[in-house]
């Protein structure tokens, strides 16, 4: 009885930069999904990006577009007077104006404020 030799899996052609670029754009820059869409491993995609200035630019461009989208949403929340969004923005962007969290080692000066309210007996 003859034994069949196992078929060798044909080697795929390496993906082009354009294929990876298109895959990244189609999946929103998520490399796991890009790899799955293109039929390769995450590590293969990651390694190709590290070797290609164009793919690095594409990745940065996608990340910047998400930052733009996120900042736009944050500003909408601030305009809607969402207190959490306002506080977060002041802590991050208002540091030069004194809006910051105190370090755990900093002493906080206490100031006494007295309110006189006339209740009109």
Express each pLDDT in 39-91 by its tens digit. Answer: 999 999 999 999 999 999 999 999 999 999 999 999 999 999 999 999 999 98
Q: What is the pTM of this model?
A: 0.65
Express each pLDDT in 84-113 by its tens digit. Answer: 999 999 988 888 888 887 776 666 666 776
Please tell me the predicted confidence (pLDDT) of residue 56. 97
Query: Can you say whether the dihedral through the CA atoms of 71, 73, 76, 82 is positive or negative?
Result: negative
Give the residue carrying structure tokens 């189609």: 26
State the burial class of residue 115 (Cβ atoms within 10 Å of its Cβ: 0-12, 13-18, 19+): exposed
Among residues 58, 7, 12, 65, which one has the least CA distance to residue 34?
58
Per-residue confidence at 24, pLDDT binned at 50, 70, 90?
very high
């Amino acid at each position: 009885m003859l034994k069949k030799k196992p078929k060798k899996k044909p080697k795929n052609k390496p993906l082009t930069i354009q294929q990876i670029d298109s895959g990244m754009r189609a999946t929103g820059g998520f490399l796991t999904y890009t790899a799955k869409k293109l039929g390769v491993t995450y590590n293969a995609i990651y390694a190709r990006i590290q070797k290609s200035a164009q793919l690095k630019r594409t990745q940065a461009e996608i990340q910047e577009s998400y930052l733009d989208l996120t900042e736009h949403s944050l500003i909408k929340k601030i305009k809607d007077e969402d207190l959490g969004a306002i506080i977060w923005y002041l802590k991050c962007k208002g540091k030069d104006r004194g809006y910051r969290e105190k370090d755990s080692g900093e002493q906080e000066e206490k100031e006494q404020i007295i309110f006189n309210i006339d209740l009109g007996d």
